[in-house]
Structure 1
Amino acid sequence: MQFLHNLSSPMRQYLLVTGNYWAFTLTDGALRMLVLLHFHQLGYNPLQIALLFLFYEFFGVVTNLVGGWLGARIGLNRTMNLGLALQVVALSMLLVPSQYLSVPLVMAAQALSGIAKDLNKMSAKSSIKLLVPDQASGALYRWIALLTGSKNALKGLGFFLGGALLAALGFQGAIASMAIALGIVWLISLKYLKQDLGKAKAKSPFKDVFSKSPAVNILSAARLLLFASRDVWFVIALPVFLASQFNWDHWQVGAFLASWVIGYGIVQTQAPMFTTTRSSLPPDGRAALFWAIALATVPVLIAIALFKGVAPQIAVLGGLLIFAVIFAVNSSLHSYLIVAYAREDGVSMDVGFYYMANATGRLLGTLLSGWVFQTKGLEACLLISSAFILLAALVSLGLPKHKSSSQEVGSLSRS
């Protein structure tokens, strides 16, 4: 730990926050893949599997709304550590003998995991604004892109880890190994994470969790639609489609989804290179509109290829790669804009509200993914995905835009 002591305080806290976020994300991705593959192996249909994640997504909505307010009152270090502890408890709940591993128990564990995940994510994203010097908008964008991209790369690695652990250790062995590892991370975080990080100077009433900023509200609506567009075909429909239509085994499904999310995360870290304007200003509402329109074309083209029976493997796998690149830029761009728009004092409240919308989109997408795929197939999921993205583009028309080349991002945050 001497290495941490030799760093500046902001850099040390950034590394601790990022390390916590990475460790949590690894177990979160692995847990999702473990539950999905294990219960698919037991014969559950796509809609039943989607329902296992219902509480995970639902409580993510509630947690982001309350968690931002809580972080502003007690500090982001405490909400982050609480998230780590709750994930250890959620994993431990699944260590019961297999005959007691009922659907209600798995749903309850997933509910707790959903609370934990969004406490951890909200805390990490909010902390970055407080650790970057004022007016350093370019650095803020790079740090946000790095945090977001690395998180998703590790989530992809978690998918692969989940499939590998399921094959090597079985369901309970995999769960136990992750609970022990995350417990160690939690103990380190308790000792070293700064005690007053993110605590607001003034105690805001609970009603302030609902953002009064038009920019935050518009971006939150676009975020909801963006993530519904991804999860409506990626969460349940795609893994089951790969297993049932291409006859892929657990290793192949886990490895492919892992590679996809890892590549998606790497692209996110490079998003500033794609979206920064010629004047070197950070991106604004125009960039969000442009990248949403570009993304909307991809799912509909995949669906058309499937309808016409044009090389399904090439259409789905190739289309997925293109979707990953463009979606990654959209996601990283949104992640920067919310931190730029958020107020300085009580930043977690605006970020929490935004990620509440994110979780609502995931919930909507997850439910539709199981139901639409089971009743109408992957093509219908893809068409719904494009419709959601077009709505996100329409909403993005209302986002603030730079008025001149000399305008800094601070003017965006006041909009």
Structure 2
Amino acid sequence: MQLPTAVRQYLLITFNYWSFTLTDGALRMLVVLHFHNLGYSPLSIAMLFLFYEIFGVVTNLVGGYLGARLGLNRTMNLGLGMQVFALGMLLVPTSLLPLWLAGVPWVMAAQALSGIAKDLNKMSAKSAIKLLVPKGEQGKLYHWVALLTGSKNALKGAGFFLGGALLAVLGFNAAVAAMMASLAVVWLLSLMLLKRDLGKAKNKPKFTEIFSKSTNVNILSAARLFLFAARDVWFVVALPVYLSSQFGWGHSAVGGFLALWVIAYGIVQTQAPKLTGGKKSAVANALDADAQATNVQVPDGRSAILWAFLLAFVPAFIALALMIGISPFVTVTLGLLLFGVLFAINSSLHSYLIVSYANDEAVSLDVGFYYMANAMGRLIGTVLSGWVYQSYGLAACLWISTLLIATTAIISIKLPR
């Protein structure tokens, strides 16, 4: 039996997103471990991702505008093609580059292009879901967003493992070449099969409309900025280097451990609709046609406050345990598991809320603005991760994470309930 068009397009978009995420996660781990092995300091490694995050901020603003003007199929395919090119840049021999561009500047340029590609791809995938789900079916929308977000992060975890394993088995250049060839095949398939003009606005928006006029979108975007800064301040650079230097783990061990963490994190995200809402009452089902199909209470601002406050206690607990001398191995591993569960729920809940709040007529504009804030948070967290860890250690990164999550919860008080 042939699947409905909307379902086929959802599966294709998800496959594109999965494939991109696998190479993106692997590339991040490859770069962190490869340059750590070459003797680069944590702050220097963080700087390699500086342009990746900076261009992510710009891309989400402009990408949402382009998605509304040109169609989400074009922005998604553009992102895939740019990632293929970025991987190819890393294969260029240093001897062929000008002296001022060789080494770190060239890697930063490749990471910048990869950052643009990643955010074009993500913005396109998240925006497209709203257009594929029938209007008003919020429960179904929450399920589809949670499934896409969770499965993507599970694949990102697999990418971490793949990056560490490929570096150990093939070396840096061969690993990058293999990923480039695989993603090029996916890109060609997407060019042929993805529906044209998906998400293209009927009334072409002006460039000045890239900044959201929705109060709810603005508040949620601010909360998202602090949430992701709180994660990346200890996860991006500090944690992989800590695991390698303090526990003596090799590349495959670090990549494998973080891979399992992100995979579990992604699985929890797919279950977020069950964990954050519960089932609706019989009365609510009778009043809400959507509930009859999903039987799930969709979250609101109250849910965002509660789950953010719960999350804030976890990095504080890990930091305190490290400071009073409890086993670092037990503290970090168990703390990471609890942090992963609660952060996954927070992230999935936010991902649903932005798609729900977004304007139907130009969904990519609101989604792009929101992920601009997400990228800004990642940028802040990445820079802080290298600087704070190098200067003060992992515990300091965790205390800053606690403060940032508490700020997320306070901002979320303004969200509609």
Write the letter of the residue equivalent to 1:13: Q
Residue in 1 that maps onto 2:307: 291
- Tell me, in whole angstroms, the C-alpha distance in 2 between the residues paired with 1:126 and 1:393: 25
Residue in 2 that maps onto 1:232: 233
Q: By how many angstroms is 1:277 displaced?
A: 4.9
Correspondence for 1:92 among 72, 88, 97 = 88
Query: 1:63 and 2:59 equivalent?
Result: yes
- Tell me, in whole angstroms, the C-alpha distance in 2 between the residues paired with 1:23 and 1:168: 21
Structure 1 unaligned regions, length at least 5: 402-415
Correspondence for 1:80 among 69, 76, 80 = 76
Contact 1:264/1:324, CA 8 A, preserved across alignment: yes
- Tell me, in whole angstroms, the C-alpha distance in 1 between the residues paired with 2:88 and 2:178: 10
Deviation per CA, 1:196-235: give whole Å up to 9, x if none. Answer: 1000010111111100100000000000000000000000
Residue in 2 that maps onto 1:16: 12
Residue in 1 that maps onto 2:106: 105
Deviation per CA, 1:299-326: give whole Å up to 9, x if none. Answer: 0010000001101110011000000000
Correspondence for 1:46 among 29, 37, 42 = 42
Write the letter of the residue equivalent to 1:245: Q
Q: By how many angstroms is 1:191 displaced?
A: 0.4
- Tell me, in whole angstroms, the C-alpha distance in 1 between the residues paired with 2:161 and 2:84: 20
Q: By how many angstroms is 1:96 displaced?
A: 1.9
Residue in 1 that maps onto 2:287: none
SS of the equivalent of 2:360 reads coil
Write the letter of the residue equivalent to 2:361: D
Write the letter of the residue equivalent to 1:324: G
SS of the equivalent of 1:203 reads coil
Residue in 2 that maps onto 1:303: 319
Deviation per CA, 1:110-138: give whole Å up to 9, x if none. Answer: 00000000000000000000000111111
Counterpart mapping for 1:404-415 below 5 A: none
SS of the equivalent of 2:361 reads coil
Residue in 2 that maps onto 1:217: 218
Contact 1:277/1:283, CA 8 A, preserved across alignment: no
Q: By how many angstroms is 1:278 displaced?
A: 5.1
Write the letter of the residue equivalent to 2:335: G
Residue in 2 that maps onto 1:165: 166
Residue in 1 that maps onto 2:389: 373
| TM-score, normalised with respect to structure 1 | 0.95
Counterpart mapping for 1:357-372 below 5 A: 357-372=373-388
Write the letter of the residue equivalent to 1:83: G
Deviation per CA, 1:165-218: give whole Å up to 9, x if none. Answer: 111111000000000000000000000000010000101111111001000000
- Tell me, in whole angstroms, the C-alpha distance in 1 between the residues paired with 2:24 and 2:265: 17
Query: 1:176 and 2:177 equivalent?
Result: yes
Correspondence for 1:389 among 392, 402, 405 = 405
Residue in 2 that maps onto 1:406: none
- Greater than 6 Å deviation, 4+ residue runs: none
Write the letter of the residue equivalent to 2:123: M
| TM-score, normalised with respect to structure 2 | 0.94
Write the letter of the residue equivalent to 1:12: R
Write the letter of the residue equivalent to 2:385: S
Counterpart mapping for 1:120-135 below 5 A: 120-135=121-136
Deviation per CA, 1:39-76: give whole Å up to 9, x if none. Answer: 00000000000000000000000000000000000000
- Tell me, in whole angstroms, the C-alpha distance in 2 between the residues paired with 1:331 and 1:251: 27
SS of the equivalent of 1:346 reads helix
Q: By how many angstroms is 1:8 displaced?
A: 1.1
CA RMSD of aligned residues (A): 1.0
SS of the equivalent of 2:198 reads coil
Deviation per CA, 1:388-408: give whole Å up to 9, x if none. Answer: 00000000000011xxxxxxx
Contact 1:128/1:143, CA 8 A, preserved across alignment: yes
Residue in 1 that maps onto 2:258: 257
Write the letter of the residue equivalent to 1:46: P
Write the letter of the residue equivalent to 1:235: V
Residue in 1 that maps onto 2:276: 275
Q: By how many angstroms is 1:97 displaced?
A: 2.6
Residue in 2 that maps onto 1:409: none
SS of the equivalent of 1:345 reads helix
- Tell me, in whole angstroms, the C-alpha distance in 2 between the residues paired with 1:113 and 1:165: 19
- Tell me, in whole angstroms, the C-alpha distance in 1 between the residues paired with 2:112 and 2:308: 31
Deviation per CA, 1:115-165: give whole Å up to 9, x if none. Answer: 000000000000000000111111100000000000000000000000111
- Tell me, in whole angstroms, the C-alpha distance in 2 between the residues paired with 1:228 and 1:61: 13
Q: By how many angstroms is 1:276 displaced?
A: 1.2
